[in-house]
Structure 1
């Protein structure tokens, strides 16, 4: 099967037809195989199915068994997104139990389960530009509440086993926080944390010899869907799972002969989490919905410009209401102050009462300038008391009354 798939670990390249394409076994100083240094390249996912699906413990065993007795040092070159915890732990312990010393060289990425394979070797070397990633183990599960609690306990136990490897290499750290945060590290950061010993370019041992090359040819299983494999098997995450899996076939044989199908429990769980109400949705449509969610999850979050502050809508509404009340109170204070200025000017005889509204308008337009003008006006220019309403007659009125015999008070 040579169909291309866009979401595989191998990217846009054609499906591999040989194990050597991502786990090409051994290089030795001479074709006779009597050298002392051997190179093993672990380039790909770590998976108990082996064969097409990735690098298994059995694959590593075949390679180690083929090493000549003269080998005293193994250079394990790693570029792997990780995979199954127990399979990776077995590979690490196989390497540790070999009589040769093991130097792990991270050529690109040692992520997830591949990180403790790298950290657990005798020496860990980061190539320039390489990275390491550690995170808490994860798993799929189904059942009742007790089943989920048991799964959580198993995950905690698996994490404790991983922490033992990291602690042995780097000492006591806040591993729980580092794992929970999914910590990505550059080569320098890996050395600084203690999970790697140094940064260097390590050459291969020599000529290449692929173990069992004639027996490693295989094809992808019929009905293989790489998107399903990406969602269900999580090749880039350390998955602590049950070992009730199909046993691996011999190298060179298809790993799975039965068509890949999605279980009803998994399908129902995906529908529930994706909010899909159509129970008749096909597996392909459901996986397309999963891809859409994953694509959105990888979109970069919008950046907030410098100087911009985000605020909750309820808080904003409350602040706007408070600001409106404040503006109203301020306007009332301003109106009262301007009225007092005009009333004072009228009382002092600076302006006429009839022009009161005009002066209030001018104050509203320019309070400072208008106040200065009012202050410059002379006092008592405008009469402020009523004229011609005195109780007592004037001297002229009294003389007039004497002349004509008229009482001005009665007039």
Structure 2
């Protein structure tokens, strides 16, 4: 894997460079009134919901700091959302923090409110979908390591978690077949979201203002108030820029840092964790290592060699009902089939000859017609019924030659000519 690809493995951010400051994707702004008191605030949640916080995503602690930084005069919060979602419990805590705030909260989905972000949006006092925005709801997912009992326990836990999510959706939109909607990973357009009841309207909601209020204490809290004349002053503009820069720097410094990591998304363990004896034995068996005393280093080296080996060239899938056979085996099968066919033909020829010979012996046909009847049976096996239907003794078996100038087989000739008109008498 190249260094470029390694750098792209960064949780939510992927190949996109993470923001330099928290304010790049999560911030709060207030709109000052003429007397300097802000009554409306905008909080932008433009990133994943993640308990790590910092630039990993938006955590409960981040939201708490922003809410604490808002002036007491704020009566309405416009929560602008563009988030792929994230951790369920973190989102549940955020929606409850917003519900506990004294201000009215209007959720505005600017782009996407997916997964955990969807029930934050749906839980607000009012939910507005911007034009072209979407909402996505799905069942919670997780991962587990262990035996069958561990897996069943994890599945039961996920069912409980889903019921908590459904309570949030049902409180907003009423009773629906939420289990099916979640299981199918339902994507909703802006109008679909309103129709389902998870949003109240599709509209454009204006921002509160442009003053950033991100910070952890009063020293870095930037809340602008005053008149337009104050903002237009060059000195004030410079001071404002300096305060915003200081707030961003402090927010970066205060952001929680992931534990011991060489770079974002890659954990570097400071102490080696030994393999369990059972795990080591299982890996040895699967790698085909017969030495029961093989060390961890030997097993890991064999594992590295196995995964480094080139993958077998994939073969095209055969149509249903078609089976691949080795060429030499196919030739043998063909030869065996030909030999069997020849043996069967010989059996059938012998059976036809025996049938005709029995008819000659019974006086049904004359010996002179034997070859004709053999050929007739070969051409049409049904002729055996006709042959069997001829009267016994029709041809005297003791007479040979011609009597009174009449061929002894003349009657049988007439019968054969009627049955097989294309044949000529002998």
TM-score range, shorter chain: 0.5 to 0.7
Q: Given the superposition, is the C-alpha separation of residues 137 and 14 from structure 1 closer, same or farther in structure 2, using an over 3 Å criterion?
A: closer
How has the CA–CA distance of structure 1 residues 51 and 387 changed in structure 2, closer, same or farther, with 3 Å as cutoff? closer
Q: 1:72 aligns with which of 65, 70, 75?
A: 75
8 Å contact from structure 2 (residues 108, 128) kept in 1: yes
Matched, 1:173 2:211: no
Match of 1:216 in 2: 251
Residue 183 (str. 1) matches residue 200 (str. 2): no
Partner Cα distance (2:109, 2:141) in 1: 21
Moved more, 30-39 or 191-200: 30-39
Q: Is the 8 A contact 1:30 1:207 kept in 2?
A: no
CA–CA separation in structure 1 for the residues paired with 2:145 and 2:35: 50
Q: Deviations over 1:191-234 (max 9, x none)?
A: 343323333444433325252333112497663454557xxxxx
Matches of 2:269 and 2:164 in 1, distance apart?
Answer: 35
- Provide the C-alpha distance between the structure 2 equivalents of 1:394 and 1:64, rounded to a whole number of angstroms: 134
Deviation at 1:23, TM superposition (A): 0.9
Q: How far apart, in 1, do the equivalents of 2:42 and 2:204 lie?
A: 14
Which residues in structure 2 correspond to 1:337-376 (within 5 Å)? 352-360=369-377, 362-363=379-380
Match of 1:293 in 2: none
For residues 123 and 208 of structure 1, what CA distance do their matches in structure 2 show?
Answer: 24
Q: What residue number does 2:244 align with?
A: none
**Are 1:193 and 2:196 counterparts?**
yes
> CA contact under 8 A between 2:128 and 2:202: conserved in structure 1?
yes
Paired residue secondary structure (1:59): helix
Listed as ranges, the matches of 1:111-260 within 5 Å are 111-127=114-130, 128-136=132-140, 138=142, 140=144, 155-179=158-182, 181=183, 183-187=185-189, 188-212=191-215, 213-214=247-248, 215-218=250-253, 223-228=261-266
Q: TM-score w.r.t. structure 2 length?
A: 0.54
1:4-53 superposed Cα distances (whole Å, 9 cap, x missing partner): 72122123222322101221322537799645432211122222232232
Alpha-carbon separation, structure 2, partners of 1:123 and 1:260: 48
Contact 1:223 1:260 in 2 (8 A): no
Q: State the Cα deviation string for residues 362-388 of structure 1 (Å, max 9, x = none).
A: 559xx9xxx9xxxxxxxx9xxx73588
Q: What does residue 237 of structure 2 align with?
A: none
CA deviations over 1:234-288 (Å, ceiling 9, x no partner): xxxxxxxxxxxxxxxxxxxxxxxx967796689x99x989x97695577xx99xx
Q: How many residues align?
A: 304
Q: 1:99 to 1:260 in 2, by over 3 A?
A: farther
Q: Which of 74, 99, 102 is matched with 2:102 structurally?
A: 99
Distance in 2, matches of 1:385 and 1:141, equals 92
1:348/1:83 CA distance change after superposition, 3 Å: same
Q: Aligned to 2:395, which of 385, 389, 395?
A: 385
Distance 2:68 2:93 in 1: 15
The 8 Å contact of residues 69 and 213 in structure 2, kept in 1 or not, is answered as no
Stretches of structure 2 lacking an aligned partner (at least 5 in a row): 216-246, 288-294, 308-315, 324-340, 384-389, 406-426
The aligned residue for residue 10 of structure 1 is 13
Once residues 303 and 29 of structure 1 are traced to their aligned partners in structure 2, the CA distance between those partners, rounded to angstroms, is 68
> What does 1:295-374 align with in structure 2 at a 5 Å threshold?
352-360=369-377, 362-363=379-380
Q: 1:389 to 1:263 in 2, by over 3 A?
A: same
Partner Cα separation in structure 2 for residue 30 and residue 154 of structure 1: 49
Residue pairs, 1:29-40, within 5 angstroms: 34-40=37-43
Counterparts of 2:397 and 2:155, CA distance in 1: 100
Deviation of residue 353 (structure 1)?
A: 4.2
d(CA) in 2 for partners of 1:130, 1:12: 23
Greater relative contact order, per chain length (Cα 8 Å cut-off, separation 6+) = 1
**CA separation in 2, counterparts of 1:118 and 1:183?**
17
Q: TM-score, normalised by structure 1?
A: 0.55
SS in 1 for 2:170: helix
Following the alignment from structure 1 to structure 2, what is the Cα–Cα distance between the partners of residues 265 and 195?
Answer: 49
Root-mean-square deviation over aligned CA pairs: 5.4
Q: Matches of 1:43 and 1:120 in 2, distance apart?
A: 18
